[in-house]
Amino acid sequence: MAKKDYYDLLGVEKTASEAEIKKAYRKLAMKYHPDRFSNASEKEKKEAEEKFKEINEAYQVLSDADKRSKYDRFGHAAFENGAGGGYGGFEGFSGSGFEDIFSSFFGGSGFGGSTQRRGPEPGEDLRVDVTITLEEVAKGGEKEIKYTRRGKCSACNGTGAEPGSKMKTCDKCGGKGRIEKIQRTLLGSFKSVEECDKCRGKGQIPETKCKKCGGTGLERETIKKTIKIPVGIHDGQRLRIQGMGDASSEGGENGDLYIFFHVKEHDFFVRDEENIICEVPITYAKAALGGEVEIPTLNGKKSIKIPAGTQNGKLFKLRGEGINNPRSYVGDQIVKIVIEVPTNLNDTQIELLKKFDESLKDKNYKMNKSFIERFKDLFK
């Protein structure tokens, strides 16, 4: 089966910058991460796993300037056995770029070479989605989250050995934690190093496996944690909590926990960066005569003065009543006036409205006290 184009896999153009490639990879890696399919069907798990492998392979190439250059020139053939100086014009086998390719895809450093382990692999990162209100965005606060992760087995403390049992040297790797393999190709023999699948790179295995975890050293655990809601955070932004992800099966550091915030749509306010916008209905009489209007804000109710003759759509600004941005300023609240047109008028109101409309034909009229008194029933 022909391999898919790496750019298409990540959903980026061939002219994409390093930052764009990294951003696209992170988004897809989070989407197809195996932990997100723990409750899915076996078919869905397998499809997600294959997709996860594909995007990781694509990122390994496109995130490296040297590998990306070769891929742009020769496509997938740049990394297939048989590609070399005589086939694609490569600079030779001694360059670090070509060795990196073998290191990435074969586990070795080239002809006859080998690589040393760089320490135990850390645990997987996890994601938790949290929904918050606009009020919590404006004022901050705390929220309790609950999630499950792979933690150290409480019975064996992560060793994988039944309590009271000892550890012994792995008979498959001889205590090295890795196994060397020889691959024979048209270009010669290549030595690759893989982690021992029996001891998972530890070099030791338990004489008797822990009954609770089956020798893995891990068990599922439920975590409850109170997190702080960053003031001014936007919908879709995330918070990283180091070491709160899955435990490592090799004794390495825990993965990280990523909190993704989703801001619930507000019934009254609409957010525009650090400002909030709302529409406030007033009566025709209030618009014509003016007066005080009580306005809801994120900090309680406030009153604003409506000048006489206020038109529909007029904007008022309440300074400092928006969202707090700790790094810069506090936004404002923008109030849009919406004049309500009365409906279901009775006969008296209709007659008064007709007289009022007639009076407006005189361009010299003034909204003085006598004029208001004359049509006061209309403004009730």
What percent of the chain is predicted at pLDDT more than 90? 8
Q: Is the pLDDT higher at 133 or at 379?
A: 133
pLDDT of residue 184: 66
Taking the C-alpha atoms of residue 254 and residue 244, their distance in angstroms, rounded to an integer, is 7
Q: What confidence score (pLDDT) does residue 62 get?
A: 92
Establish how many alpha carbons lie within 13 A of residue 311's alpha carbon, considering only the half-sphere containing its beta carbon.
2
Distance CA 148, CA 131 (A): 18
Please state, in angstroms and as integers, the Cα–Cα distance from residue 354 to each residue in 256, 347, 361, 365, 369, following that order.
71, 11, 11, 16, 20
Share of the chain above pLDDT 70, in %: 80
pLDDT digits 0-9 by tens, 204-250: 888 888 888 888 888 898 999 999 988 888 888 888 899 899 888 76
**Predicted local distance difference test score (pLDDT) of residue 146:** 92
**Domains of the chain, start order:** 270-374 (2.60.260.20)
Tell me what the pLDDT averaged over the chain comes to. Answer: 78
Q: Where are the alpha helices (DSSP H) in the chain?
A: 6-10, 18-31, 42-62, 65-74, 85-88, 96-106, 134-139, 284-289, 347-359, 369-374
Angle among Cα 133, 30, 241 to the nearest 5 degrees reads 60
Residue 79 token pair: 């990394």
For 174, 206, 215, 216, the CA distances from 198, given in Å and listed in that order, are: 11, 11, 11, 11
| Structure confidence by residue, pLDDT tens digits, 152-186 | 888 888 878 888 888 888 888 888 888 887 776 65
Q: Could you tell me what percentage of the chain is helix, strand and coil, using 3-state DSSP and rounding each to the nearest 5?
A: 30, 30, 45
Residues 61, 21: Cα–Cα separation, whole Å = 11
Residue 308 has pLDDT above 60, yes or no: yes
Q: What is the pLDDT of residue 112?
A: 40
Q: What is the pLDDT of residue 173?
A: 87
CA atoms within 13 A on the CB side of 318: 23
Find the helix or strand (DSSP H, E) in which 120 lies. Answer: none
- Max mean pLDDT range (46-55, 118-127, 322-331, 353-362): 46-55
pLDDT attached to residue 377: 53
| pTM for this model (two decimals) | 0.55
Quick: pLDDT tens for 177-196.
Answer: 888 877 766 556 667 778 78
Non-local (6+) Cβ contacts of 193 within 8 A are 107, 108, 114, 115, 116, 117, 178, 179, 180, 181
Return the pLDDT at 80. Answer: 67
> In the 8-state DSSP scheme, what is residue 35?
G
Average pLDDT value for residue range 256-262: 91
Average pLDDT over residues 340-365: 74
Contact yes or no for 322/330 (Cβ under 8 A): yes
Q: Is the pLDDT of residue 339 over 80?
A: yes
Please name which of 54, 58, 53, 55 lies closest in space to residue 71, comparing C-alpha atoms: 58
Question: Could you tell me the pLDDT band of residue 361, with boundaries at 50, 70 and 90?
Answer: low
Q: How confident is the model at residue 268 (pLDDT cuts 50, 70, 90)?
A: confident
pLDDT of residue 203: 81
Cα(312)–Cα(334) distance, integer angstroms: 14
3-class state of residue 230 by DSSP: coil
